[in-house]
Structure 1
Amino acid sequence: METGKRIRQLRKAKNMTILELATSVGSDVGNISRLERGVQGFTEQLLVKISAALGVKVADLFTEEELGIDPVDKTVNTEVKSYVVAVLDAKASAGNGVAVFNEVDETISSIIYENDKAMEIFGHRPAESMRVITVVGDSMSGTIETGDNIFVDISKDYFDGDGIYVFKFKGSLMVKRLQFTADGLLVRSDNPKYADWLIREENEKYLKVLGRVIYTHSVTRYV
């Protein structure tokens, strides 16, 4: 079995999410997800941290033998209603665009809200319509910073009036403001260093709206 698949097997046997494993080893969910899928390499130091987090020996990451792993206790009070938002292994560019290869990105974790808090943030939008994506780049700086999480209403997969959208244009995934004009859709960045540009009618075939941004969450790192 490939090492990445083995790590995923051991993680699931321990009832850990990718987010929990990433936090335990001082990494991020994107790196761990790519490692598990075999699209990213790993260092000896990282394997030592992962094995410690999973409660196994490093050698166990390279074997298919069944191991006695004590699962993490995740008893949940089923009486507490919750609103679960899926976090995608995707990055939307607030810059010049990030190439997109997969139409559907993998769900790597989730964020859970109590219903009262969810109503305050999301209104009556169903959780099934919401996705969380990480932003890279500074073109929306002042409103959305690189590393911030954006909450996207994927039911709005069309232009629904002026606002901030996640969209694909010529194969690149972007987060920008879209504004209707008589000449076409104006693509605007909140950072004045970036020039506006226009999607004219003849180029709309290259545009695919994936959702409308309804909420942002700033992530501040100190280490």
Structure 2
Amino acid sequence: MIFLNLEIGKKFMESSNDDYDISSIKTEIGNRLREERELQNMKVADLQRPGLWPATTIYGWEKGVATPKAEYLGHLQNLGFDVAYIITGKRTKQASSQIQDVLAPKRPALTGPAPTPAHSEDTLFIPLLSATGSMGPGTEALAADVVMGDVPVSLTWVQMNLPRSRPEALRLVHAYGDSMRGTLESGDFALVDTDIHSVDADGVYVLEAHQRLFIKRVRQRIDGRYEISSDNPAIKQTDILNGGHEVRICGMVVYGWNGRRF
């Protein structure tokens, strides 16, 4: 009897260790799942899909109650999450570089890859215009929009991250110059909502003045006038519009590639 009891105890301990290891793995995956979500500046409500993975299910995954479904991880991959890190705890080389950019001091770095469509029905083609928005002295404005091509992005991602923008009104323009360094780097692409033609909120806009295009930050002052400025602290250039300037607002920059929300 003593021998049998010892054997039963041994098997119980082995079973308990296995359960502990599995529970520990679930907890670690859940922690990394939450960490990646917070890194992407997203809420659980942004990711839920009723009937597939409701908010309560996602919370359970993040708490380590269960492991996330493959479909959910595939969805996160399309949104720019580092799924390899979530599963293994080891970041890819590209993701590690992006994390360092995010954590770099005194620089709100652009982060996140372009949202790849999950399937054909999830595809939104955004026109890439030949027009270039300068973050410096300005560049010649074209008489009409010339489309160089269409860039496929995830429609789900657009609807989730830009709920106030009409997908058909979105355009991509190339940005160059140094005056917006820290927000947009020279060579980045700006995703512009062309439905916006007035400054109802402080932000970054594409402006046309004297037949030239600019990408600048615009805010309304207490006196009602508009202040146009640069984000680069090394360039202390600020213009005040007093009503006599002929400036046309071509749209508001709602995203900067590779993917930092404004």
**TM-score, structure 1 length as denominator?**
0.58
Amino acid at match of 2:226: L
Asked if the contact 1:180–1:186 (Cα under 8 Å) also holds between the matched residues in 2, the reply is yes
CA offset at residue 90 of structure 1? 1.1
SS state at 1:80 partner: helix
Distance 1:81 1:178, change over 3 A: same
Tell me which protein shows more strand as a share of its residues: 1
> Mapping of 1:15-164 within 5 angstroms?
80-100=121-141, 102-164=142-204
Q: Which one scores higher on RCO, CA 8 angstroms, separation ≥ 6? A: 1
1:43-81, CA deviations, whole angstroms, 9 ceiling, x for partnerless residues?
xxxxxxxxxxxxxxxxxxxxxxxxxxxxxxxxxx98633
If each structure's helix is expressed as a fraction of its own residues, which one has the higher value?
2
Distance 1:118 1:109 in 2: 19
Q: How many angstroms does 1:120 deviate by?
A: 2.9
Q: Distance in 2 between matches of 1:121 and 1:140?
A: 23
Which among 157, 179, 196 is matched to residue 238 of structure 2? 196
Residue 170 of structure 1 pairs with residue 210 of structure 2: yes
Larger Rg: 2
Distance 1:78 1:155, change over 3 A: same
- The CA RMSD measured in Å over matched residues stands at 2.1
Distance 2:258 2:120 in 1: 30
Letter in 1 for 2:203: G
Match of 1:208 among 248, 251, 256: 248
- Mapped to 1, the partners of 2:197 and 2:143 lie a distance apart of 13
Residue deviations 1:102-137 (CA, integer Å, cap 9, x gap): 232211111112322222332252221100000010
Q: Supply the AA of the counterpart residue of 1:144.
A: L
- Residue 186 of structure 1, CA deviation: 0.5
Gaps of 5+ in 1: 1-76
Show CA shifts across 1:74-97 (max 9, x none): xxx986332221110011010111
Amino acid at match of 1:202: G
TM-score with structure 2 setting the length: 0.50
- 1:145 CA displacement: 0.4
